[in-house]
Amino acid sequence: MFRCVSVFRHVSWLGTTAALIAILLPAGPAFADTAAKFFHQAMASEQSGKFESAIELYSRAAKLQPDNHAIYNNRGVVYSRMKEQDKAIDDFDHALGLNPKNAGTYNNRGMAFEKKGDYVKALQDYGAALSIDSVHVGALFNRAALWASRGALDKALKDVREIIRVDRKNLRAYLLRGRLHLAQGSSDKALTAFKRALRLDRGNPDVLEGQGNAYFSKGEFQRSVKSYSEALKRSDNRGRILVNRCSALMRMGKLDRAARDCREGVALDRNSADGLYNLGTVQAALGDHPAAIKSFTSALDLDADRAQYYFNRGVSYQRIGEYSKAPEDFTKVLELDPKRADALNNRGMVRWRTGDMQQATEDFEAALNADGSLLPASKNLAAVWIARRNPDKAISILELARKAARKDPAILAGLGDAWMEKENWNKALSLYRASLGFTKSKSDKTRLFALMGLASERAGKTKRARQYYKKALAGSSEYRVKTELRKKIERLKAGST
């Protein structure tokens, strides 16, 4: 029994940072008329996206008024938007030299440091801004988002609570609070935050998407789909929301609708590795493994370090009998995550199929060492030992597994197989009967009836054997199997006359 874990990637995000802050023209005669003219023109150029022109105009203003901190702050903002963070930081440094009490400039420099990846200095600057203005919303937002990105969710929530204390109607604060609670796994608290945000703006697509994520986390997939559908009517981020709705629909078993959403989501955002992965997972669930392999491969082209992507592609290779490629993917999973018992189990299954009993045994044993509760590995290891003519080892493994899952039909059937190998037909028959009592699948019941017939026949219970073979015949749909069963029934009938 191979283990197929189709884990959906549910796309969420925390990024709610405040914008860079430009300083408006100060009032009064301190700002020379010509410098003011250049300053206003620079701001207009910046707002229209003409950053090079804005830099030139701010530079002209700075020559005329080199002691005005607003000019350097605003030029730094433009440099930061142009992704020239070192130049931006130089300008913010100069502005702070002229006016060390400007919280907005500290906040701006913190954002530039954050964009450079210097998170320590960024946090210091956000802190400096807040020491000057303890309710500087931009700095509180930015520090909260940075704390969140570093995994310090409690610190992030503390900053968000401060924003809400100051401004009870700050929708963005409730939105960020909901996302943070969701990241902590507190779905109910997240829903409370999103509902409060919706009271402020009932149609806000970001909040509706967040609400959908919270319902998804709670396993309330129908409500999740409803929230995503409302968000899709209003959002510009349709690709991400479609991918998430695809995940919810998949969990509801609505595979065709899920596939449509994933395809549309990927078409809108071709760089969404999670979207391609989800599409592949839906395709695999629909039985289209070649298409699934293509989707998983495209996802891996975008993000080559996702163990689950390799695992699901390996399962699809396994499904279509590509036994040379499947173990390569399971091996890659183990390179990225050495404790993945499911990858060891599946690699063992492929090696067993290709006749490498020794390595299959080693993989199943390693899987059980990594996760002793992984029942498929117990069943597979026992089956290998039976095939290797060592039923005692198989019985030992399955009896241990039976303690954790006494009503598992596959464990009971496996024990029956082991006792058959030991030629204890009555013990095997008893175990097959016990397995039948917990078996729901028609095909599995048919197989058990055939095994019960064989055990009865070998125990000399001819009449009972015929009855079991007839039940197996009634449930079988394969021509070859039905032919064999008819032969057995006729042979037993002839022997009894």
Q: What is the pLDDT of residues 130-140, one digit of tens each?
A: 999 999 999 99
What is the pLDDT averaged over residues 105-121? 96
Least trusted range by pLDDT, from 13-27, 52-66, 312-326, 435-449 = 13-27
What is the pLDDT averaged over residues 160-188? 94
Residue 289: predicted pLDDT: 97
If phi over 0 gives left and psi between -120 and 50 gives alpha, with beta otherwise, what is residue 12? beta
Q: Do 296 and 265 touch, CB atoms closer than 8 A?
A: no
Q: What is the pLDDT of residues 277-292, one digit of tens each?
A: 999 999 999 999 999 9
Least trusted range by pLDDT, from 7-11, 168-172, 278-282, 393-397 = 7-11
User: What kind of architecture, by CATH, is found in domain 1-20+28-166?
Assistant: Alpha Horseshoe (1.25)
Residue 493: predicted pLDDT: 83
Q: How large a percentage of the chain has pLDDT more than 90?
A: 86
The C-alpha torsion from 348 through 350 and 356 to 358, rounded to 10°, is 0
pLDDT at 38 over 80: yes
Residue with tokens 């395709």: 283
Structural domain boundaries of the chain? 1-20+28-166, 393-497
Distance in angstroms (rounded) separating the CA atoms of residues 436 and 439: 5
88: confidence class by pLDDT, cuts 50, 70, 90 = very high
With residues binned 3-state (H G I as helix, E B as strand, rest as coil), the percentages for the chain, rounded to 5, are: 75, 0, 25
Q: How large a percentage of the chain has pLDDT more than 70?
A: 93
Q: Return the structure tokens found at 420.
A: 């058959």
Residue with tokens 């440091």: 113
257: confidence class by pLDDT, cuts 50, 70, 90 = very high
Q: For residue 324, with 0-12 CB atoms within 10 Å meaning exposed, 13-18 middle and 19 or more buried, which class applies?
A: exposed
What is the pLDDT averaged over residues 102-110? 95
pLDDT at 18 over 60: no
DSSP annotation of 374 reads -
pLDDT at 6 over 50: no
Q: What is the pLDDT of residues 431-441, one digit of tens each?
A: 999 999 999 99
What is the pLDDT averaged over residues 384-405? 92
Q: Return the structure tokens found at 392.
A: 């005692």
**Full 3-state SS string of 94-118:** HHHHHCCCCHHHHHHHHHHHHHHCC
Distance in angstroms (rounded) separating the CA atoms of residues 466 and 453: 7
Which one, of 416, 478, 467, 411, lies nearest residue 442 by Cα? 478
Q: Do 245 and 212 touch, CB atoms closer than 8 A?
A: yes
Q: Give the mean pLDDT of the chain.
A: 91
What is the pLDDT averaged over residues 452-458? 94
Which one, of 239, 184, 182, lies nearest residue 211 by Cα? 182
Look up the CATH superfamily of 393-497.
Tetratricopeptide repeat domain (1.25.40.10)
Residue 373: predicted pLDDT: 83
DSSP annotation of 324 reads T
The C-alpha torsion from 211 through 150 and 298 to 237, rounded to 10°, is 40
Q: What is the pLDDT of residues 290-323, one digit of tens each?
A: 999 999 999 999 999 999 999 999 999 999 999 9
pLDDT at 30 over 60: no
Residue with tokens 């707002």: 47
Q: Do domains 1-20+28-166 and 393-497 have the same CATH topology?
A: yes
Distance in angstroms (rounded) separating the CA atoms of residues 391 and 411: 14
